[in-house]
Structure 1
Amino acid sequence: MTIIDKLKELGFSTISAGFYGKVQEWKSWYEGDVKGFHRYRVRNGAGMVRCKRYTLNMGKKIPEDWASLLMNERVEITLDGTKEQEFIDRVLKENNFRVRSNEMQEIAFALGTVAFIPRVVGMGVTETGPVPGSATDIIIDYVTVEHIWPLSWQNGVITECAFDSIVNVNGDDYCYLQIHRKVDGLYDIENRLYTYRNHNVDTEVPLTSVQGFERVPPVVHTGSDRRQFVIDRPNIANNFDCSIPLGISIYANAIDSMKGVDIAFDSYVNEFVLGKKRVMIKPSAQQYLDGEPVFDPDDLAYYVLPEDIEDGAIIQPIDMQLRTAEHSEGIQTQLNLLSSKCGFGETYYRFNGGNITTATQVISENSTMFRTIKKHEIILESAIKELCHIILHLGNTAMGAGLNEDVEVTIDFDDSIIEDKTTERNNDRQDLAAGIMNDWEYRMKWYNEDEATAKKMLPKMEDLTDEGENEIE
């Protein structure tokens, strides 16, 4: 029984399996080995020859570049509260969020959708249920689209959802199914465990019977009307099925361009393979000198003809002219088309010396790439803020942390490729000197501080007076 069938058995309906088939197609491009394209057969006149197409693996490169532009080490998450900031920083650090969020952003752009699911661990459980305030930590599960099963949604926002994962305990495989659903306006999280054999979800087993799940309650009553999971995806419409809330790959509508790039690159590589310089020699040229052959039989530069031919020289060099310029131009054209289709504009990728390089210059605010970055940041910013609020809520309900769950969260994305930060900072310094900008406003912007902290960190007037008197002395 599949996950879809198991959910139907439990009374839930989800997205059809057909869409997940498209996800597998995008995944094959992400892995760089597409069935029927990268491995194919060609007739050479005498029979069929198996071939493997050379690839630039743009299915990996494009999502990787988008992840670097959107979720990199310069992204700052700021909360308007010292206690809340320290709590979020600790949880994110313990969950390797800086690394994993970049990886998940890459996968989101490759496969269409990912999810972040915070959950508590170490919570005490009694016969009546979990003990509030007894949890020891918060774990973030990072889930890819193959394990996300929307149950209900509105205006493209998933309100109820199931997530599955396959775990191995003492040599046995289990399917762990987590269902987030609303009951009387508040979210409940159901935890179910099934035996898993030959890719089939079988019999349900008690959570207490499997090592590692003894302290997982069958149902968690969150007491919140906010969902306890976060969905992230590229900010592009799903034109394969606009009625479902899952996203699509950034190159979902550029498959033909992906093929064009690899066909051109495959021809480029084969140009060197087939154009290798060789020397054709007649058998009569294979003479021995002092008992040793004149030509090394292991030297691939020489090809001995099967028999002497009357016409032609005994030794005939074959030196084919390489069409490298034409191939480079063809690959660049295909890259320009692919780059444009994936939101970078037409000049983002450069094919130089057999390698793919990317533009590093500052881009203008009216460019295609600038507008696309800002569009994708809308969903990403909302996802990070929602994740922070869920973590704060879990900190209060499960750990008794005493946090302000509605604290303001600010996401400062890295715009260094878009804006010249040095020039902008110098301009702000001039405004500060001219009295146009307040000193605390400058600190808020460039030191990423809230208003209270910025004003607190300013040097006191008496300190400046003491410094001036010391200089006079």
Structure 2
Amino acid sequence: MNIFNYFKRKGIDTIDASFYRKIQEWISWYKGNVRNFSFYKIYTGRGTYKRCERKSMGMAKKLSEDIADLLLNERVTITLDDEHTNDYVHKILKSNQFMVQGNDYQERKAYTGTVAYIPFLDSADVTEDGVIQSGVIKINYVDGPNIFPVSWNNGKVQECIFTFPHTVNRKKYIQIQSHLIEGDEYVIENTVLRSMSGSQEGTELKEEEWRQLKPFMNMVKKTNTGSLEPQFVIDRLNITNNADANNPMGIAIFANAIDVLKKLDTEYDSYYNEFLLGRKRIFVAPELLYNIDGTPAFDPDDGIFYSLPEDYDKSQEGLIKDVDMNLRTEEHSKAINDDLNYLSLKCGFGPKRYKFDSSGVKTATEIISENSDMYRMIKKHEIILEDALKELIRIIIRLGIVIGEQLNPDSDITIDFDDSIIEDKETERKQDMQDVSAGIMRPEEYRAKWYGETIEQARENLPEQNQVMVME
């Protein structure tokens, strides 16, 4: 379905459709099924072509996995200085499986360029005068192909439309959710289209029609938020968009390394074919193929044996001819390793991220010295991710207050990212322990830092002798 025809009819301006074709190209590399590349033809010399599937190393998928694991994993801690607000936010994040979904959407962010998190109130109880009395805070997760910015300033999206595909009774529908500013507030409006094939626009359903469909039964058609604070969060990689410099969307981590991905897969496919075509063969004269009683002398399913023609000159070559072709393993291996290094460098991981050698396990200190490029790259991406996570938490707090929770909207939020792969955490922890012993760092500061607790929680959880020291 062509969603842009719908936008045009509604008078909605968004990013040019050509950028979304670029996103689809990045997705095809992630899936390993690239148009005009993953399948190719070889001329047989007999007037026909053989269709071949190119073997892939799947490096677009690997790059996306790695950056996701480095940015958001189980060691990332989120701490608010107000204990009750901290507990409430973590309860909401846990009920929405944020650490699982968050990592998944960091990977999606890596190959689509952009993702969004949209907290909302589900099963809301609203009075006749529009006052919300109760509800359950949930989070919708959206990736690049379903995000359509409408207005932005200095790269920050201010108004946006999101789409959510659904299938009901084998029929496809698209929920269109707009977050637009009307006057001095955001208005969230939902529409449902019946999805049509090809370039057709799709049929817009009336409210009484889509309320008969299970995914939309309890959906609110229009919500006046009463606030100029957005109820969505846009998260992207901190890479300048050189595919379309005039839009606020991000680009895939490998967007500028497509040629290297092509070269790697071409080399890997050649390496595969080197072994497939260069395997050992034994040519046998016809009279040796059968025993005296007529039974086969060799296993007919063993592909190593080939029958020689009847007119084969046995006096020159003998009854059995062994052919063992030389494999160009060293050349292929070197080419692949060279391009893995180049791919790693192009994507910000430094030149040795994917170099395979026999040097054994490196220490954390060696990792720091050898991967300064990766360190700077991770820290760069954490700038946007930290702001996105804090913004998400602020929205959760605001929604919690709307449904009557006593929360502190001004709570200080601390995001502690997991830098154990690029920093020597063990050395840092030992240094902090020495600082505690020397009286330079307070025990509760140490515990808050290393156990992901607030200062108040850390002070309460200290052993009795340390609590005495703190009181003194």
- 1:224-303 residue pairs with structure 2 within 5 A? 224-303=227-306
| SS of 1:193 mapped into structure 2 | strand
* Rounded Cα–Cα distance in structure 1 between residues aligned with 2:36 and 2:394: 46
- 1:265-414 residue pairs with structure 2 within 5 A? 265-310=268-313, 311-351=316-356, 361-362=364-365, 363-364=367-368, 367-397=372-402, 399-414=403-418
1:284 and 1:308 in contact (8 A); partners too: no
Deviations, residues 382-440 of structure 1 (Å, cap 9, x unaligned): 1111111111111111x211212221111110011122222211111212222222223
| SS of 1:134 mapped into structure 2 | strand
Q: Which residue of structure 1 lines up, in the alignment, with residue 45 of structure 2?
A: 45
Deviations, residues 363-396 of structure 1 (Å, cap 9, x unaligned): 2277101000100000111111111111111111
Distance 1:131 1:174, change over 3 A: farther
* Rounded Cα–Cα distance in structure 2 between residues aligned with 1:270 and 1:341: 28
Which of 452, 455, 462 is equivalent to 2:459? 455
Q: What is the Cα deviation at residue 464 of structure 1?
A: 6.1
Q: What is the Cα deviation at residue 461 of structure 1?
A: 6.0
Q: Which residue of structure 2 lines up, in the alignment, with residue 74 of structure 1?
A: 75
* Rounded Cα–Cα distance in structure 1 between residues aligned with 2:95 and 2:273: 48
1:196 and 1:202 in contact (8 A); partners too: yes
Query: Which letter does structure 2 place at the counterpart of 1:179?
Result: S
* Rounded Cα–Cα distance in structure 1 between residues aligned with 2:312 and 2:57: 43
- 1:210-229 residue pairs with structure 2 within 5 A? 210-229=213-232
| SS of 2:188 mapped into structure 1 | strand
* Rounded Cα–Cα distance in structure 2 between residues aligned with 1:298 and 1:314: 21
Query: Which letter does structure 2 place at the counterpart of 1:266?
Result: D
**What TM-score comes out, normalization by structure 1 length?**
0.91
| SS of 1:123 mapped into structure 2 | strand
1:282 and 1:315 in contact (8 A); partners too: yes
**What TM-score comes out, normalization by structure 2 length?**
0.92
Distance 1:463 1:109, change over 3 A: closer
Q: What is the Cα deviation at residue 350 of structure 1?
A: 2.8
Q: What is the Cα deviation at residue 301 of structure 1?
A: 1.0
- 1:144-159 residue pairs with structure 2 within 5 A? 144-159=143-158
Distance 1:126 1:347, change over 3 A: same
| SS of 2:84 mapped into structure 1 | helix
Distance 1:87 1:271, change over 3 A: same
Distance 1:351 1:440, change over 3 A: closer
Query: Which letter does structure 2 place at the counterpart of 1:320?
Result: M
1:193 and 1:204 in contact (8 A); partners too: yes
Query: Which letter does structure 2 place at the counterpart of 1:165?
Result: F
Distance 1:269 1:169, change over 3 A: closer
Query: Which letter does structure 2 place at the counterpart of 1:80?
Result: D
Which of 438, 441, 446 is equivalent to 2:445? 441
Query: Which letter does structure 1 place at the counterpart of 2:388?
Result: A
Q: What is the Cα deviation at residue 277 of structure 1?
A: 0.8
Q: What is the Cα deviation at residue 359 of structure 1?
A: 7.4
1:7 and 1:13 in contact (8 A); partners too: yes
1:116 and 1:229 in contact (8 A); partners too: yes
Q: What is the Cα deviation at residue 324 of structure 1?
A: 1.5
Q: What is the Cα deviation at residue 218 of structure 1?
A: 2.0
Q: Which residue of structure 2 lines up, in the alignment, with residue 7 of structure 1?
A: 7
1:287 and 1:294 in contact (8 A); partners too: yes
Deviations, residues 220-274 of structure 1 (Å, cap 9, x unaligned): 1112211111111110000011100000000000001001111111111111111
- 1:175-190 residue pairs with structure 2 within 5 A? 175-190=174-189
RMSD over aligned Cα atoms: 2.3
| SS of 2:176 mapped into structure 1 | strand
Query: Which letter does structure 2 place at the counterpart of 1:69?
Result: L
Query: Which letter does structure 2 place at the counterpart of 1:14?
Result: T
Deviations, residues 296-348 of structure 1 (Å, cap 9, x unaligned): 33321111123322242221001112221221111101101111001101100
Distance 1:3 1:126, change over 3 A: farther
Q: Which residue of structure 2 lines up, in the alignment, with residue 132 of structure 1?
A: 132
Percent identity (aligned): 46
When structure 1 is superposed on structure 2, of 379-388 and 207-216 the one drifting more is 207-216
When structure 1 is superposed on structure 2, of 232-241 and 40-49 the one drifting more is 40-49
Q: Which residue of structure 2 lines up, in the alignment, with residue 468 of structure 1?
A: none
Q: What is the Cα deviation at residue 17 of structure 1?
A: 0.7
- 1:66-105 residue pairs with structure 2 within 5 A? 66-105=67-106
Q: Which residue of structure 1 lines up, in the alignment, with residue 142 of structure 2?
A: 143
Q: Structure 1: which 5+ residue stretches go unaligned? A: 466-473
Distance 1:438 1:125, change over 3 A: closer
Distance 1:435 1:271, change over 3 A: same
Q: Structure 2: which 5+ residue stretches go unaligned? A: none
* Rounded Cα–Cα distance in structure 1 between residues aligned with 2:423 and 2:288: 68
| SS of 1:50 mapped into structure 2 | strand
